[in-house]
Amino acid sequence: MPPESLRCKECKTEYPLDARYVCERCFGPLEVTYASRDRTDPAALRRRIQAGPHSIWRYADFLPLQAPPRGTLPAGWTPLLRAERLAERLGIGELYVKNDAANPTHSFKDRVVAVALARARELGYQTIACASTGNLANAVAAHAAAAGLESYVFIPADLEEQKVLATGVYGTNLIAVNGTYDDVNRLCTEVSAERDWAFVNINVRPYYAEGSKTLAFETIEQLGFELPDRVVCPIASGSLFTKIARGVEEWLEVGLVSGELPTFNGAQAAGCSPVATAFEAGTALCRPVKPDTIAKSLAIGDPADGPYALELARRTGGSIDSVSDEQIRDGIRLLAETTGIFTETAGGVTVAVLAKLAERGEIDPSERVVAFVTGEGLKTLDCARGTFERTEIEPTLESFEEATDSLALTS
Ligand SMILES: *Cc1c(COP(=O)(O)O)cnc(C)c1O
Ligand SMILES: [Zn+2]
C-alpha cells in the first residue's frame, strides 16, 4: 500500500510526493493518499504487523515512506493502561489511558517527527526545523541528533524552562522568538521559503501529520484489534485529533477492525479555545485568539486543522470542550492520584474534559473510553507547585510522631 500522491483536502487536486503543503489552486491543505488496499488480506496484514518491531514502524504499511528507516529513536509502542480507579471516581464503565509520555522525548511528538524526518531524508534534506509550542522542539532536536542531521528549532521565548533545557541539551540551534506560537509559525513559513530545510510542521507537514495515525493503530492493537466507543483527545492545531480518526478509518477500510468510528471528544484550554468556541457557536470556522493558558503545548491561537476537527466532532456525535487553568491543575492531580501517571498540562486538559463529560452524564456506563495523555508532567513542573502539602520534621522519632499525630488529626 505505497503512498501515491499528495492531494488537496478541499479541491482534490493531486501533486507529487515532494515537500509541499498547500494547494496551488485553492490554498487548501494537502494530505497523503495511498494506493488502493482493496485486495489486501486482513489476516496476513495483521500477522505482518504483529511480527514487526515494537515501535511505530510496525505500521509502516500505513505510513508515507518508501521504506521504514533504520537506527532511529524508537518512537511509539507506549502503554495503554486500564484506569479502574479513575473510572470509578468519574463513574465511567471501561476507561483506558494511552500514556504517550512514554516516548523518547516524553510526548506524542516523537511519532510525527520520526515520520517527518524519515520522509525528509528520503527527499534529500540535510537540515530539519520546526515551529514549536515546546514538545515539537524537544522531539526535532533529539531525532535530528540521533540521525546526525543539523536542526533549527523556533520556540516562543516564554516557554517553560524545563522544555527549553530538555531541547537545548541535544545541541540544536535553539531560536527563541519574542512572540506567540502563531508569530513563530508565521516567521517559520517565511524562513522555509528562504532556506532549503525540512520544516516538519510546515513544508513536510503532510508526512508529519501521518505519524499521528499510529496512536490509533496502537490503541486498537492493544485493545485486541477492537475499537473504543469514545476517545478524548487534546487539540492544538487539530492534527492529532483528526488523524486518530483517519487511522481508525483506514483500519476499518482494510478490515483489520470492524465497527464504527468512535465518538470524538476534543479538549482545549479555556485560555486558548478557538475550536471549542466555534463548536459551541455552531460555526464551521475558528476565529483566531491570542493564547493565555498554562497549557502552552496546546497554545495555538489559529489552528490549521480546526475546521476538520469541528467536522469530526459533529459527525461522530462528540464535542469540543474547554476547561480552566484551575481545572487543568485538578486534572493533573486526579490522573496522578488515581493512575500513577504524572502528565503535563495537555494531559490535564484531557482528563479535565473527560471529568466534565462524565459530570454532564454524556458517557454511558456501557462505553469503552480511551483518554489520550500526550505529554509528561516533568516538563511543566511549575503547575504542580502549591497543589499539595509537605511535612517538615527534625531527624528524631519524637518529631516524626508529633507530625504524624497532627497529620492524623487533619486528615
Ligand atoms: C502538540 C501536542 C498536542 C496536539 O497537537 P496538534 O497540533 O493538535 O496535533 C497534544 N498534546 C501535546 C502534549 C502536544 O505537544
Ligand atoms: Zn485545492
Q: Cell digits for 148?
A: 546526525
Predicted local distance difference test score (pLDDT) of residue 410: 62
Residues 4 and 149 in one domain: no
- Per-residue pLDDT at 276 exceeds 80: yes
- Per-residue pLDDT at 388 exceeds 90: no
**Nearest ligand to the C-alpha of residue 113?**
1
Return the ligand 1 atom nearest residue 238 CA: 8
- Summary mean pLDDT of the chain: 96
- Per-residue pLDDT at 38 exceeds 90: no
Q: How many domains does the chain have?
A: 3
* 51 in any annotated domain: no
Percent of the chain scoring above 90 in pLDDT:
92
Shortest-distance Cα residue to atom 11 of ligand 1: 374
* 224 in any annotated domain: yes
Residues 263 and 336 in one domain: yes
238 CB within 6 A, ligand 1? yes
Residue after which a domain boundary falls, among 210, 227, 244: 210
At residue 273 the predicted structure's pLDDT band, cuts being 50, 70 and 90, is very high
- Per-residue pLDDT at 1 exceeds 90: no
* 397 in any annotated domain: no
Predicted local distance difference test score (pLDDT) of residue 92: 97
Report yes or no: 30 and 15 within 8 Å, Cβ to Cβ.
yes
Report yes or no: 356 and 323 within 8 Å, Cβ to Cβ.
yes
Long-range contacts at 7-14 (CB < 8 A, ≥ 24 apart)? 7/31, 7/32, 7/33, 9/308
* 403 in any annotated domain: no
80 CB within 6 A, ligand 1? no
Residues 187 and 304 in one domain: no
The pTM for the full model equals: 0.96
Predicted local distance difference test score (pLDDT) of residue 71: 80
Mean pLDDT of the 186-207 span: 97
How many other CB atoms are there within 10 angstroms of residue 175's CB atom? 17
Q: Cell digits for 115?
A: 515520520
- Per-residue pLDDT at 143 exceeds 80: yes
Tens digits of per-residue pLDDT, 84-134? 999 999 999 999 999 999 999 999 999 999 999 999 999 999 999 999 989
Residue after which a domain boundary falls, among 189, 210, 231: 210
Residues 233 and 360 in one domain: yes
Tens digits of per-residue pLDDT, 291-350? 999 999 999 999 999 999 999 999 999 999 999 999 999 999 999 999 999 999 999 999
How far, in Å, CA of 350 to CA of 268, rounded? 8
* 59 in any annotated domain: no
Report yes or no: 208 and 19 within 8 Å, Cβ to Cβ.
no
Shortest-distance Cα residue to atom 4 of ligand 1: 236
**Nearest ligand to the C-alpha of residue 238?**
1
Return the ligand 1 atom nearest residue 201 CA: 7
At residue 52 the predicted structure's pLDDT band, cuts being 50, 70 and 90, is very high
Q: How many residues does the chain have?
A: 411
* 19 in any annotated domain: yes
274-302 in b/e form (b: 16+ CB < 10 A) is: bbbbbbeeeeeebeebebebbbbbbbbbb
Mean pLDDT of the 145-149 span: 96
* 125 in any annotated domain: yes
Mean pLDDT of the 33-56 span: 91
Mean pLDDT of the 211-217 span: 98
**Nearest ligand to the C-alpha of residue 239?**
1
Residues 380 and 280 in one domain: yes
In the 8-state DSSP scheme, what is residue 133? S
For residue 192, what is the domain's CATH number?
3.40.50.1100
List the single range of 79-88, 351-360, 400-409 with lowest mean pLDDT.
400-409
Tell me the residue range of the domain where 364 lies: 80-106+212-384
Mutation pick for ligand 1 pocket among 100, 286, 374 (CB with most ligand atoms within 8 Å): 374
Residues 261 and 351 in one domain: yes
Residues 176 and 284 in one domain: no
Phi-psi region at 212: left, alpha or beta (left = phi > 0; alpha = psi -120 to 50): alpha
Residues 355 and 260 in one domain: yes
Residues 357 and 229 in one domain: yes
At residue 411 the predicted structure's pLDDT band, cuts being 50, 70 and 90, is low
- Per-residue pLDDT at 37 exceeds 80: no
68 CB within 6 A, ligand 1? no
Q: Which residue from 205, 199, 208 is spatially nearest to 129, judged by alpha carbons?
A: 199
Report yes or no: 199 and 130 within 8 Å, Cβ to Cβ.
yes
Report yes or no: 264 and 305 within 8 Å, Cβ to Cβ.
no
Ion ligand 2: residues, Cβ under 5 Å? 8, 10-11, 13, 23, 25-26, 28
Residues 134 and 203 in one domain: yes
Mean pLDDT of the 32-61 span: 92
Residues 128 and 156 in one domain: yes
List the beta bridge partners of residue 107: 375
- The strand pair at 263-269 and 368-373 is best described as unpaired
* 48 in any annotated domain: no
Residue after which a domain boundary falls, among 178, 210, 242: 210
DSSP string, 202-245: TTTHHHHHHTTHHHHHHHHHHTTS---SEEEEE-SSSHHHHHHH
- The secondary structure element, H or E, covering residue 90 is helix 84-90
Percent of the chain scoring above 70 in pLDDT:
99
Residues 272 and 166 in one domain: no
- Per-residue pLDDT at 409 exceeds 80: no
How far, in Å, CA of 133 to CA of 120, rounded? 21
Measure 23 CA to ligand 2 centroid, in angstroms.
Answer: 5
Mean pLDDT of the 195-201 span: 97
Mean pLDDT of the 24-30 span: 96
322 CB within 6 A, ligand 1? no
Which residues, at least 6 apart from 372, have a Cβ–Cβ distance to it below 8 Å? 98, 100, 108, 215, 231, 232, 233, 234, 240, 244, 350
